[in-house]
């Protein structure tokens, strides 16, 4: 049976596509070396639209209105620019209410885009541009350590990694936060109260790597401007030993935290990337594996939720579980030496 | 290999679910169609595979290993038709429920008329309404355009206007839809279904036709103010959903090719089968089908001249689970649990399970939570679906579940239950049936596949159903009565075919069981006490023929609506006792 893989790898090649949400201009060049904060593409995006009903305002037919409309598609109009003027002794006119661009003209109406803002797409990770995707973005390659998580709040930043948790089940509290941590990405494991999240965001730190997050803090975590990645689950779970070991041994290095929102269909996942110097490109990790004895796995459901173990054997057929359900299962030896039976659908390979 | 497997018209039916993909083989055995076997594999719509055809090949490979009949060639292609050497199949059908919930904008004139029909139509598939535009909408057209753009719809359903009735109002509502579609990049434009006033089809084509990803027409869902006819629009919508999935999910086009276009959304195929069964076997009572799946909970009910199909992605047990708390509370879910579980643990469970929809309960505590969640999801789905049941259907009390015969139930939660009593108790708690009904478990989840097969072969569904491919759990007798706990409310005598008699006295608040094996029938004489009503009128009994099943005849005297004790310790004791009565631990 194919096994899903959660990447926690000490040294690997990492290739990531970075795309604008809409079409725009790509600024990066092929083979360009980029830093996480480099802008590689940009686009203009209008937040709102304004529909000017010229025919109705001037009380004329749509065809008549079309004949007197002075603007055309793609015209940029400043606020108060006259769009059409009626006739008569006291002619009425229609003007652009705000600065904007004309996107549709017809049927006696004018539709404008207004409130335009610029979207900047940053590289997100340090590396080399290996492909340009016209009008949308680029593909970046780097090499280093990779730790993937299961939840992210959609933000991205980079900074120096500080291990403030000290142990996998450490709890970050407000009194542990001080100005010396400003600009750092914190390996913090658990956060159990809103005050701590708010204080970290206000400091501000550049990111939080958590083992688990209380569901009651999810909304706040989505709102804060600091990237937050969760490695193991919801509630009060310690960080799995593989992720904690890799991250804690890389403390004080510059890391990129891309807390991308997990998307099961596209495969986008939040991740920490730690660029390392290399002489040749290391191999890419496998996207899937086949369950086999010796593979390192992580428990996705109880018992031993979040713990790392290795597959001892794969009994044939269906195995009766303590719940009474029967499913294809594996015998897994946990790090504490305990051997448990776990259904294969509750396991993911770590590597 | 039996000759029938070679000579008959074999049919491979594949169901691609959110969590699992199943391949089922039907073939002719001794002159009649039979369910032969099924193979299962994890679905592969999601990353990293992102191609549903891979999971289908895995499921067919597992099926091949069971039946010893090659169905895939060396390149992973389907062998069709059946070959002289016994390999291959003659035909294939596919049902599909995998994929993200379809984001839908509904447009109609009046809130309680066309918009209500649009809502019902949208609920017949795996869709969620993300924006509503109606005649009484106070927003400016440009605000409506921005709302549609923000909603990022995959689908727009437009209803409104009786045939020959209002046309200008509906045309006005189309403008923001057309303009919003124009502003979207071509690859992100929604498919549009127009199911309103047929007289304005030409104008709809002009206003929206070139701007939508595709424009579809169906007969008006409201040909007159008093009449609603969703069936033709549901059929068109089912076709559109498959097309939307072809764009969203790789591999659907391969399945479309293999099946010669015989691919349907799973819920629609179930609804089709329920309509068919209620016409064939239709009696005074309705026919109910429930399916608790990872992608959605589906309720389909068939009545003599009417049927309803409601798909609730929000009550699915997969990726949408973390949003269940928008519709219910942790306390309401935990009322079904036999174990004392803190609300915080349940909340963590909901979020964790939504991350890994295909994961299963390995511990007793996890199972208690998953069963409690399934009960509440099905309970909420049934409460919602009841709003759409037609008026005047057979019932004991209008506020209670109508009378159904039989109740068909499917979905992994039920089919993987460790014993039939576990599944039955879940159904009794959440559906709260009344009167006398037969409960049938679709343990191989065949119903939608038979619905899809009906388009290829109308003999196959009938013969497979009558072959015993479904598990009869038993006959359930649920009196409606007000009484004090422990008061006798019903006496019954079951006379077996052998002439042996068994008796039971049902007390209010309890469950009782009289064994009656599958395939056997018996005469059940019911005497109602204290005005109890099992469908013959208050206090009136009767003697009826009942058929057996895995559990026999089950008497549910726990009251309707089911009122669980507020004291947690007492409630846990009772739930354990009920579970034990029905064969659990």
CA A79, distance to chain mean position in Å, is 37
Mean of the pLDDT values across residues A242-270? 95
Beta-carbon separation of B47 and A263 below 8 A: yes
Mapping DSSP to helix (H, G, I), strand (E, B) and coil, where does residue A298 land? strand
Cα separation, B127 vs B264, whole angstroms: 15
Query: Taking the model in full, what pTM does it have?
Result: 0.93
- DSSP letters spanning A105-154: EETTEEEEEEEEEEEEEE--S-EEEEEEETTTEEEEEEEEEEEE-SEE-S
Beta-carbon separation of A264 and B363 below 8 A: no
Residue A25 pLDDT greater than 70, yes or no: yes
Share above pLDDT 70 across residues of chain A, in percent, rounded to a whole number: 100
B151 Cβ partners below 8 Å, 6+ apart?
B103, B105, B130, B131
Q: How many CB pairs under 8 A join A and B?
A: 141
A46 pLDDT tier (thresholds 50, 70, 90): confident
Residue B516 pLDDT greater than 50, yes or no: yes
| Range of weakest confidence among A40-54, A85-99, B287-301 | A85-99
CB contact B392 to A (< 8 Å) = no
- The 10 Å Cβ neighbour count of residue B30 is 7
Residue A83 pLDDT greater than 50, yes or no: yes
- The 10 Å Cβ neighbour count of residue B22 is 25
Encode pLDDT of B143-155 as tens digits: 999 999 999 999 9
B44 pLDDT tier (thresholds 50, 70, 90): very high
pLDDT at B182: 92
Report whether B413 contacts B357 (CB < 8 A). no
Residue B282 pLDDT greater than 90, yes or no: no
Report whether B369 contacts B361 (CB < 8 A). yes
- Taking CA atoms, what residue in A is nearest to B422? A324
CB contact B185 to A (< 8 Å) = yes
CB contact B141 to A (< 8 Å) = yes
Per the DSSP assignment, residues forming a β-bridge with B194 are: B158, B217
Cα separation, B380 vs B374, whole angstroms: 10
Give B105 to chain A, closest Cα distance, Å: 19
Beta-carbon separation of A287 and B48 below 8 A: yes
Mean of the pLDDT values across residues A172-190? 95
Phi and psi at residue A56, to the nearest 5°: -70, -45
Encode pLDDT of B433-478 as tens digits: 999 999 999 999 999 999 999 988 888 998 998 888 999 999 999 9
Per-residue buried b or exposed e for B287-296, using 16+ beta carbons within 10 Å of the residue's own CB: bbbbbbbbbb
CB contact B250 to A (< 8 Å) = no
Of B182, B322, B362, the CB nearest to A321: B362
Residue B3 pLDDT greater than 50, yes or no: no
Encode pLDDT of B175-199 as tens digits: 899 999 999 988 899 999 999 998 8
Strands B91-96 and B263-265: parallel
Share above pLDDT 70 across residues of chain B, in percent, rounded to a whole number: 98
| Range of weakest confidence among A89-98, B291-300, B308-317, B393-402 | A89-98
> CATH topology of A8-38+124-275 equal to that of A291-350?
no
- The 10 Å Cβ neighbour count of residue B457 is 17
CB contact B547 to A (< 8 Å) = no
Using the Cα atoms of residue B291, residue B294, residue B297 and residue B298 in order, give the sign of their dihedral.
Answer: negative
What is the ipTM score, two decimals?
0.91
Query: What's the CATH fold of domain B102-244?
Result: Rossmann fold (3.40.50)
* Measured CA angle at B482 (ends B481, B483), to 5 deg: 110
CB contact B435 to A (< 8 Å) = no
Mapping DSSP to helix (H, G, I), strand (E, B) and coil, where does residue B128 land? strand
A233 CB neighbours in chain B (<8 A) are 348, 351-352, 355
CA A36, distance to chain mean position in Å, is 14
B280 pLDDT tier (thresholds 50, 70, 90): confident
A301 pLDDT tier (thresholds 50, 70, 90): very high
Encode pLDDT of A149-163 as tens digits: 999 999 999 999 999
Mean of the pLDDT values across residues B336-354? 96
pLDDT at B8: 56
B182 CB neighbours in chain A (<8 A) are 104
Encode pLDDT of A57-81 as tens digits: 999 999 999 999 999 999 999 999 9
CB contact B179 to A (< 8 Å) = yes
- Angle in degrees, 0-180, between the axes of helices B168-183 and B141-151, rounded to the nearest 10: 50
- Hey, which bits of B414-500 come out as E strands? 435-441, 471-478, 488-496
Task: Give the count of alpha carbons within 13 A of B189, CB side only.
Answer: 22
* Measured CA angle at A19 (ends A17, A21), to 5 deg: 150
Encode pLDDT of B284-317 as tens digits: 899 999 999 999 999 999 998 789 999 999 999 9
Query: What's the CATH fold of domain B3-96?
Result: Ubiquitin-like (UB roll) (3.10.20)
B348 CB neighbours in chain A (<8 A) are 215, 233-235
Cα separation, A239 vs A6, whole angstroms: 14
- Dihedral class, residue A294 (left if φ above 0, else alpha if ψ from -120 to 50, else beta): left
Fill in the DSSP letter of residue B533: B
B4 pLDDT tier (thresholds 50, 70, 90): very low
Mean of the pLDDT values across residues A292-310? 96
Of A5, A215, A322, the CB nearest to B362: A322
Burial class (CB in 10 A: 0-12, 13-18, 19+), A225: exposed
Give A90 to chain B, closest Cα distance, Å: 27
Please report, to the nearest 10 degrees, the dihedral formed by the alpha carbons of residues A294, A300, A305, A308 taken in order: 30
Give B99 to chain A, closest Cα distance, Å: 8
B362 CB neighbours in chain A (<8 A) are 301-303, 321-323, 325, 341-343, 346
Of A49, A265, A342, the CB nearest to B362: A342
pLDDT at A339: 97
Peptide bond into B258 cis (omega under 30): no
- DSSP letters spanning B239-253: HHHHHHHHHHSTTHH
Mapping DSSP to helix (H, G, I), strand (E, B) and coil, where does residue B123 land? coil
Pick the CATH number of A8-38+124-275 from 3.50.30.10, 3.40.33.10, 3.40.50.300, 3.40.630.30: 3.50.30.10
Report whether B456 contacts B424 (CB < 8 A). no
pLDDT at A220: 97
pLDDT at B1: 36
Task: Give the count of alpha carbons within 13 A of B328, CB side only.
Answer: 27
Beta-carbon separation of B359 and A345 below 8 A: yes
CB contact B363 to A (< 8 Å) = yes
Mean of the pLDDT values across residues B214-229? 92
Give B19 to chain A, closest Cα distance, Å: 10
pLDDT at A166: 87
CB contact B210 to A (< 8 Å) = no
Query: What's the CATH fold of domain A45-117?
Result: OB fold (Dihydrolipoamide Acetyltransferase, E2P) (2.40.50)
A287 CB neighbours in chain B (<8 A) are 47-48
Residue A272 pLDDT greater than 50, yes or no: yes
User: Has domain A291-350 been given CATH number 3.40.630.30?
Assistant: no
Report whether B205 contacts B215 (CB < 8 A). yes
Encode pLDDT of A303-323 as tens digits: 999 999 999 999 998 999 999
B345 CB neighbours in chain A (<8 A) are 235
Beta-carbon separation of B183 and A266 below 8 A: no
Beta-carbon separation of A323 and B367 below 8 A: yes
- The helix, strand and coil proportions of chain B, stated in percent and rounded to the nearest 5, come to 35, 25, 40
> How much is the mean pLDDT over chain A?
94
Mean of the pLDDT values across residues A194-211? 96
Mutation for testing the B interface, residue in A215, A263, A287, A299 having most B CBs under 10 Å: A215
Encode pLDDT of A318-339 as tens digits: 999 999 999 999 999 999 999 9
Per-window interface: B 307-326 vs A, CB < 8 A:
319, 322
Fill in the DSSP letter of residue B126: T
Beta-carbon separation of B352 and A303 below 8 A: no
> How much is the mean pLDDT over chain B?
93
Per the DSSP assignment, residues forming a β-bridge with B512 are: B555
B353 CB neighbours in chain A (<8 A) are 301
Please report, to the nearest 10 degrees, the dihedral formed by the alpha carbons of residues B370, B376, B378, B383 taken in order: -170
Beta-carbon separation of A303 and B145 below 8 A: no
Mean of the pLDDT values across residues B476-494? 97
Give A259 to chain B, closest Cα distance, Å: 16
Give B307 to chain A, closest Cα distance, Å: 34
- Taking CA atoms, what residue in B is nearest to A268? B47
A270 CB neighbours in chain B (<8 A) are none
Domain ranges of chain A: 8-38+124-275, 45-117, 291-350
């Amino acid at each position: 049976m194919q096994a899903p893989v959660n990447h926690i790898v000490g040294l690997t090649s990492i290739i990531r596509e970075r795309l604008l949400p809409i079409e725009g201009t790509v600024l990066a060049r092929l083979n360009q070396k980029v830093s996480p904060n480099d802008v590689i593409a940009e686009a203009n995006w209008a937040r709102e639209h304004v529909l000017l009903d010229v025919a109705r305002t001037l009380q004329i037919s749509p065809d008549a209105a079309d004949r007197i409309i002075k603007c055309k598609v793609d015209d940029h109009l400043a606020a108060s620019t006259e769009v059409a003027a009626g006739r008569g002794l006291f002619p009425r006119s229609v003007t652009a209410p705000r600065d904007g661009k004309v996107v549709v003209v017809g049927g006696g109406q004018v539709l404008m885009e207004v409130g335009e803002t610029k979207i900047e797409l940053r590289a997100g990770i340090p590396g080399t541009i290996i492909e340009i995707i016209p009008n949308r973005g680029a593909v970046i390659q780097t090499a280093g350590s990779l730790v993937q998580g299961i939840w992210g709040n959609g933000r991205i930043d980079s900074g120096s990694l500080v291990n403030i948790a000290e142990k996998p089940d450490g709890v970050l509290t407000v009194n542990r936060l001080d100005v010396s941590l400003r600009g750092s990405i914190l390996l913090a494991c658990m956060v159990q109260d809103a005050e701590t999240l708010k204080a970290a965001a206000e400091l501000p730190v550049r990111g939080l790597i958590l083992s688990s997050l209380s569901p009651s803090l999810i909304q706040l975590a989505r709102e804060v401007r600091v990237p937050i990645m969760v490695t193991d689950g919801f509630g009060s779970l310690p960080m799995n030993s593989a992720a904690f070991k890799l991250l804690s041994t890389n403390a004080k290095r510059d890391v990129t935290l891309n807390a991308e929102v997990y998307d099961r269909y596209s495969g986008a996942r939040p991740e920490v990337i730690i660029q390392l110097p290399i002489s040749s490109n290391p191999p890419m990790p496998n996207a899937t594996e086949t369950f086999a004895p010796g593979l390192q796995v992580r428990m996705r459901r109880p018992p031993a939720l979040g713990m790392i173990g290795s597959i001892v054997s794969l009994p044939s057929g269906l195995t009766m579980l303590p719940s009474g359900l029967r499913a294809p299962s594996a015998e897994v030896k946990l790090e504490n030496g305990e051997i448990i039976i776990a259904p294969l659908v509750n396991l993911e390979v770590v590597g | 290999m039996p000759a029938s497997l070679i000579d008959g018209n074999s049919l491979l039916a594949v169901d691609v679910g959110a969590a699992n993909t199943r391949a089922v083989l039907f073939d002719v055995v001794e002159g009649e169609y039979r369910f032969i076997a099924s193979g299962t594999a994890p679905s592969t719509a999601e990353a990293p595979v992102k191609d549903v055809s891979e999971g289908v090949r895995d499921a067919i490979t597992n099926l091949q290993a069971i039946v010893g009949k090659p169905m895939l060639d060396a390149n992973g292609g389907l062998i069709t038709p059946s070959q002289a050497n016994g390999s291959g199949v003659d035909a294939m059908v596919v049902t599909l429920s995998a994929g993200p919930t379809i984001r839908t904008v509904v447009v109609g004139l009046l809130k309680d008329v066309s918009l209500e029909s649009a809502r019902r139509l949208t609920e017949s598939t795996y869709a969620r309404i993300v924006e509503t535009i109606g005649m009484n909408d106070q927003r400016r057209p440009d605000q409506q355009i921005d709302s549609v753009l923000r909603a990022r719809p995959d689908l727009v359903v437009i209803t409104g206007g009786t045939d020959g009735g209002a046309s200008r109002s509906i045309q006005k509502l189309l403008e923001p839809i057309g303009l919003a579609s124009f502003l979207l990049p071509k690859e992100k434009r929604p498919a549009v279904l127009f199911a309103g006033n047929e007289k304005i089809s030409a104008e709809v084509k002009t206003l929206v036709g070139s701007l939508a990803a595709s424009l579809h027409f169906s007969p008006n869902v409201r040909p007159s103010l008093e009449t609603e006819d969703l069936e033709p629009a549901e059929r068109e919508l089912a076709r559109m959903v498959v097309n939307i999935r072809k764009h969203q999910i790789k591999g659907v086009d391969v399945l479309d090719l293999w099946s010669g276009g015989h691919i349907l959304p799973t819920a629609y195929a179930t609804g089709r089968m329920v309509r068919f069964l209620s016409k064939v076997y239709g009696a005074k009572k309705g026919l109910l089908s429930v399916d608790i799946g990872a992608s959605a909970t589906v309720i389909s009910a068939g009545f003599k001249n009417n049927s309803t199909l409601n798909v609730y992605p929000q009550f699915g047990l997969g990726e949408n689970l973390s949003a269940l708390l928008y519709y219910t509370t942790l306390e309401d879910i935990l009322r079904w649990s036999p174990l004392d579980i803190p609300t915080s643990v349940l909340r963590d469970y909901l979020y964790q399970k939504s991350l890994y929809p295909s994961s299963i309960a390995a511990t007793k505590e996890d199972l208690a939570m998953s069963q409690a969640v399934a009960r509440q999801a099905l309970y909420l789905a049934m409460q919602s679906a009841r709003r759409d049941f037609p008026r005047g259907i057979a019932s004991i009390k209008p506020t209670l579940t109508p009378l159904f015969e039989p109740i068909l139930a499917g979905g992994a939660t039920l089919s993987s239950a460790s014993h039939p009593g576990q599944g039955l108790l879940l159904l009794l708690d959440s559906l709260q049936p009344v009167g006398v009904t037969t409960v049938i478990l679709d343990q191989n989840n065949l119903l939608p596949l038979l619905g899809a097969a009906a388009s290829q072969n109308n003999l196959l569904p009938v013969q497979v159903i009558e072959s015993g491919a479904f598990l009869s759990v038993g006959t359930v007798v649920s009196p409606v009565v007000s009484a004090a706990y422990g008061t006798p409310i019903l006496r019954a005598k079951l006379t077996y075919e052998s002439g042996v008699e068994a008796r039971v006295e049902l007390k209010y608040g309890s469950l009782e069981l009289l064994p009656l094996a599958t395939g056997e029938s018996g005469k059940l004489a019911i005497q109602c006490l204290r005005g109890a009503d099992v469908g013959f009128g208050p206090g009136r009994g009767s003697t009826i023929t009942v058929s057996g099943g895995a559990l026999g005849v089950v008497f549910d005297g726990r009251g309707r609506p089911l009122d669980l004790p507020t004291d947690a310790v007492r409630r846990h004791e009772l739930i354990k006792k009920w579970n034990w009565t029905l064969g659990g631990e």
